[in-house]
Amino acid sequence: MTSILKADTIQDTDGNNIINENSNTITIGASGDTTNIIGTLQNNGAAVGGTNTPAFEATLSSTQGVTLNGLTKVQAATEYFDVGSCYDNSTNYRFTPTTAGKYFVYGQIYFYNTAGSNTVQRGDARIYKNGSVHRSQLGGVSDYPDSTFNEAAATSIAVIDLNGSSDYVELYVYAAGSSGTPTLSNGSGENFVRFGAYKLIE
């Protein structure tokens, strides 16, 4: 036997509305209430909400030499976190997420040059997708005349569509200068070099 309960409003014992239907709009609870959903909340059959994963962030394990007037891939080998185990921190230093979607990707670099007359005019952080540059940003200009050191810093960010199977992203640095050997560094433990990404909830 099937029963049907018809009501526009359901109240608790104190007379407060728990569920109310008015002009095809259903209101659950009232202002100040806490509503706990047991199970999966859906929108027309699709689950509501989501997570910002896969996600990772990594930094250098030690200093890294940079090719002057050339591109160098940042070898961020120390992971702060790697939810989903999608970041290769030992061989290719790339993020290959296993879930398709839009990802917020960011890279931050800092390097210094050797002392004396050596100079660095520019430093770029460049985000690569599938082996080609996707986003670069001029973020530092250094040309110091003193004999201490020369340094540059840059940050690059992008929102990138990744297919969840073969697409990957990497971080490169470009150091332009007249002479010297630029070196990527975390400073004195400040972790100036970072590479990370996380999935956006769509």
**What's the pLDDT score for residue 147?**
42
**What's the pLDDT score for residue 114?**
62
Residue 58, pLDDT > 90, answer yes
Burial of 160 (0-12, 13-18, 19+ CB in 10 A): middle
Q: Higher pLDDT residue, 65 or 89?
A: 89
pTM here? 0.76
Residue 47, pLDDT > 70, answer yes
Q: Which residues pair with 177 in a beta bridge?
A: 120
Q: Provide the CATH number for the domain formed by 55-199 in this structure.
A: 2.60.120.40
What are the extents of the domains in the chain? 1-35, 55-199
**What's the pLDDT score for residue 59?**
96
Residue 73, pLDDT > 90, answer yes
